[in-house]
Each structure stands twice: as C-alpha cells, then as structure tokens.
Chains A and B, each alone.
Chain A
Amino acid sequence: MTPFEPVLTKGLGEFDLADIDVYESRGGFSALRKALREMTPDAVVSEVSASNLRGRGGAGFPTGKKWSFLPKDGRPRYLVCNCDEAEPGTFKDRMLLEKTPLQIIEGLLISAYAIQANEIIMYIRGEFLEGFRVFKNALDAVRSRGYVGDKVAGSDFSIDILLHRGAGAYICGEETALLNSVEGKRGEPRLKPPFPANAGLYGMPTVVNNVETVAFVPHIITRGAKWFASIGPSSSPGPKIVSVSGHVQRPGNYEIPLGISIRELIDEYAGGLRPGRRVKAIQPGGGSSAAIFEEDLDTGYDYESLAAKRTMLGSGAVVVMDDTACLVRSSMTLVRFFEKESCGQCTPCREGGQWVHRLVARLEAGEGTDADLRILNTINTTITGTNLCPLGDSIMPFLSSVLKRFPDEFAAHVKLARCPLGAGSSESAA
C-alpha cells in the first residue's frame, strides 16, 4: 500500500475527538490561534489558494479561488457549511460530523476569518439527527471556551454559528437550493448567475463549503500549503476520504492520497472482492457519475484521471458491482433516485426522470421492448444539459455508460423477458 498518514481521520478509532479536552490536548484550536494571531485574513486565503485544495463536496472547485471571488464592498458576508450529504454512496461527511465535529468547527472559524464573514450557518441534513446532536454539544463546548462568539480566542474577530437542520431533500445539497432552504423557502436551485459570491444568502456575498473541505483548513494552516500540495497529483492534491461500498469485503470510509489506483483502493483498502468474483462495474464518484469497468482498474483515483475516463471523482463515493450484479436493476435504482429527488422546476428533469424510470423499470421487470432500448440510446441528449442544476444531468450518465458497455445484458432482458442473471425483478422481490 502507498505509505500515507491520514489527516482528517487520524486517531479516529482511538480517541473521542468530539470531546473538547481530548481535541485540545491533541493540538486542536492551535491552527485557529495561529491564524488569528499571526496571519491576516488575506494571508489565510493565500495559503489555502497555494495548497490547491479543491472542494470535496462534488464539484471540485478550488477553495481559495471561491473565497477570493467575494466582492469587497462592505456588505455582510456569510459562510455556509454544506453538511447535506445525500449523494448515493457517500457517507464521509456524516462520519466527520459524528466523530470529529470540533475539527469542522475549527475549520469553519478559520474559513470565516479568512473571508471576514459576519455569520456562519451550519446546514445539517435532516436525517442526521445523531450528528446534529453531537455537533450541537460540541458547539456548546466550543462556545464555553470562547472560540465562538464575541472576540474569538481573545482576538478582535467575532463570529457565531447558526445551526440549521434540513427537513428532507437531496436537492438541498446543491448550493443555491441550500440557501433557499435556509431562507425558509422550497429547496429549488436558483438560476446562475448571479453566483452566491455576489448574491447568495439573503442576497449577500456568500461562500458555501463542504464539511470535508473546511475540515482540511486547520491542517493547511498548521502544516502549510506546501505540505498539502505535496500529497498526490499537483493539479488536484491532498488527501480525500473515499466512501467505498457495494461488493467489497471491507466497505467503509478510507482516507487516501489522491492519485492511487482504483485497484489499490479496492484491493488494499477495501479488502477486495468476494472470492471468485470479478469487477463488473464501478461507480467512482457518487450516483451522478458514469461507470468505469474492469479494464479501468489501473486508473488513478483523482479528478483529472477520472475526467479522462469521461466520469468524475464527484463526492468520492465508490460503489462496486461484481459479476453477480444486474446492471439493469442497478440503473433502475439510480434513475428512480433522481426521479424521486427532482425538485420539479425543469421539465427535462422532472418529466425525463419519470419516463426513463418507467422505461427501465419495464425492462427490469422483463416487460421491455426493442423500442424501449432504442429510446434509451437516444434520450440522453434531450435530458442532459437542459436543466438549471446538475440533478437533471445526473439521470443518464450511469445508465448510458453501462448500456454502452453491456448492451447484451439489456437486450437479454427484452429477449428472455426476465433477468438473464436470474435475479428476478426488483419489485417482485419487494
């Protein structure tokens, strides 16, 4: 295995890192004090920019650049933390929330100082009730130590954190939908531009950062941009927590240096496949990503290498399907997800998701026709790229990629009027 010392997950199983005494005894809040005492806000932005940290929520946008887009026009500014993790296959932010809430809080405070925010809003997915409670307790402890509120750690910087608990909606992970949700509206994405940097929460300059992204900030301040940039490929450096699930022997969250091969991730970290099984398809970057296959196992797990394979790293969720998996059923499961989670604003997403779901469900149930297959091969162009936000563009990538690679499996569902793998149909099982 490539030698690597974890950063965000260090000491996770050994220590109660949600306990403020434990966290401080292991160096917690020293990065915050360093930033407040020894660095100007601009110096913090420069350091994070130099580290080349890219957003860990899904889009991979450079964090320092996002921060530097805020206009300096005297209006109030908001820092919003996106902990609305719901991308299929992703379970890293929930782990960070439940196990290391103080690391998140320290990262938020430094980030807020860097962009000179007036308030932090922590948006936690509604289903994460346990994580919400852990975070709330941690925040109370932090407040009692003077790290949140008036004059943070004795400096001239004051900031507070408002907790917002979601109420159930995948789409609120999209940043402008999330902002609408904080404002008490339906969580529908906004038309962009204007971007949140100019007109975000309550129309004010706003930065929305993912949980994992902000958790790296204290480490970059303590150990320097050069250290961070030295890990993994120079264009997309750093560690990344990858959620591995599906047909592997040891599913779980693994913190890896970006750039290791997918083979190493699956075999060395996740324990490989069950004996005698082969990789059939892998979804490498969440439910929105196109599949890669057995012949792609030596691809590097990083933003560029996956983009070169016409897929993406996304949220860092790797779902492995072995040769027992029915890819028609797998596709149906994902298409159903997007149909259910569409906010309904854009016709191609709202209607397209329904039609594709019905069509794939029909195939999966052994009731599909050749005409259905022809439609599936062409419908991509009328859905993808025709919506306000990326949700509509996420309906087709996995389906199209496995249909292209395994056309016979889809055709066999029509010809045999059942699953050729003998899997039965999802709804007859359910």
Chain B
Amino acid sequence: MTPAREAKGKALVAAHHDGQSALIPFLQYCQEEDGYVTPAALDDAATLTGLTRGEVESIASFYSLLFQRPIGKHVIQVCRTLACMLGGADELRAHAKARLGVTDGGTTSDGMFTYEEVECLAACDKAPCLQHNLRYHYDVTPAEFDRLLEQWKRERPDAAMPAE
C-alpha cells in the first residue's frame, strides 16, 4: 500500500465504527483514484480491514457502482425501468448502443466510454433519463444523446465514479 493510501485508509477507519465499516468508503476512494477497483486495491482493503481478500471481493462484487474491471473515462448509465420505458428508454438504449458500438456493460475500443443499462434512477418525471459520471441528464431523446456524446468527447471529464 502506498503511504498516501494507507493514511487515507486509517483516517477512514478512525471516522467509522470499525475497520469493516470503512471498507466501502475505502473502495470508493480507491476507485476514484485508480479508475476502478483494482486487484491491488482489494489487497489493500483486506490489509486495512483485517478481512480476507475473498471477503473483500465478495462484498465489493455486491455493489453495482464498484467496478472490478477497467471502465471508461465516461460512464453512461441509461435507466430502463418502467417510467423511462414508457418515455422511450427502449429506443434510447438501442440508439446509444448503436452509436457507441457496444453492448450492455461494454466499453468502447478506445477505452473512453462505458455503457450500462441500469434500474430506476429516481428521475421518472423527466423520462428517459441517464447519468453520465453520476450527473443527471433528463428527457434524453436520441438526438439529445448525440449532442451530449459530442460534448463529452470534447470535455476532460471529472472522475467517472467520484468517492464523494
């Protein structure tokens, strides 16, 4: 573990009830720094919390916002649940996948964009909606998606999965 990571981990443990309670915040922090939850981060988390590596992996795998594989600089998560479906999410999903040339969960070959279909994002009044690096975009028509995509290509994104 790097000294900086160890210091951060110890601060998180101190702020929580016990080591394990700091596990998820620690993994969120590592993910922001490394781009995803790397094998090294899982080892560090085990060292920090006293859990086995297997336990850490099991816990991390439970949560959909902890990625144990490299993801793009841009993570696009399109809602597909009922209200968004009624508002055109199926058409948006088809369009987005064709534009990006990926399937659900895939990353573009240049490593820039990861595309995921997700469940209700709690923005049902502005359907269909999506999140880009956890920021909301509302009433996303296929044309609006294309406009956003061009904008994202020009931007230097913040962390795809910020810890806080």
Contact = CB atoms under 8 A, between A and B. Distances in A.
Contact of A243 (B125, B135, B136): B125
B58 A186 contact: yes
B62 A187 contact: yes
Interface stretch (B2-10, B24-32, B106-114, B148-156): B24-32
Interface in A38-94: 85-91, 93-94
Given A170-B119, A251-B125, A130 B135 contact: yes
Given A165-B25, A184-B49, A243 B124 contact: yes
B82 A283 contact: yes
A167 B90 contact: no
Q: Which of A253, A334, A336 has the most CB of B within 10 A?
A: A336
A430 B90 contact: yes
Interface in B100-133: 119-127, 131
B82 A246 contact: yes
Contacts of B80: 333, 336, 430
Given A184-B59, A246-B83, A165 B122 contact: no
A164 B15 CA distance: 11
A246 B86 CA distance: 6
Interface string A384-419: 000000000000000000000000000000000000
Given A133-B164, A183-B20, A333-B81, A126 B86 contact: no
23 contacts: A86-B119, A89-B83, A90-B120, A90-B124, A167-B65, A168-B66, A169-B63, A183-B20, A183-B21, A187-B63, A188-B62, A245-B86, A246-B87, A287-B82, A317-B124, A321-B86, A333-B85, A334-B82, A340-B119, A426-B85, A429-B91, A430-B90, A430-B97
A348 interface: no
Interface string B62-106: 111110000000000000111101110011011001000000000
B100 to A, nearest CB: 13
Contacts of B23: 184
Contacts of B122: 85-86, 90-91, 93-94, 125, 127-128
Interface in B12-26: 15-25
> Is chain A's interface secondary structure helix, strand, loop, or mixed overall?
mixed
Q: Indicate the size class of the contact surface on chain A.
A: 35 or more
Contacts of A243: 124-125
A22 interface: no
Contacts of B87: 246
* The 8 residue pairs across chains A and B that have the minimum distance between CB atoms: A168-B64, A168-B65, A167-B63, A245-B124, A184-B20, A251-B125, A184-B23, A245-B83
Given A168-B63, A247-B86, A91 B124 contact: yes
A174 to B, nearest CB: 14
Interface string A224-254: 0000000000000000000111110001110
Interface in A81-127: 85-91, 93-94, 125-127
Contact of B24 (A136, A167, A246): A167
Contacts, number: 157
A158 interface: no
Greatest chain A CB density within 10 A among B23, B83, B87 is at B83
Given A183-B20, A287-B81, A319 B62 contact: no
A429 B90 contact: yes
A181 B136 contact: no
Given A129-B134, A168-B65, A319-B124, A182 B93 contact: no
Interface string A252-278: 110000000000000000000000000
Interface centre among A89, A130, A341 (most CB of B within 10 A): A89
Contact of A88 (B19, B49, B83): B83
B28 A88 contact: no
Nearest to B91: A429
Given A167-B65, A184-B19, A319-B83, 17 more contacts: A88-B82, A91-B125, A128-B122, A130-B134, A167-B64, A168-B63, A169-B63, A182-B21, A184-B22, A185-B20, A251-B124, A333-B80, A333-B85, A337-B119, A429-B93, A430-B90, A430-B93
B96 to A, nearest CB: 9
B63 A87 contact: no
A125 B63 CA distance: 11
A136 B120 contact: no
A333 B82 contact: yes
B162 to A, nearest CB: 6
Contacts of B124: 88-91, 243, 245-246, 251, 317, 319
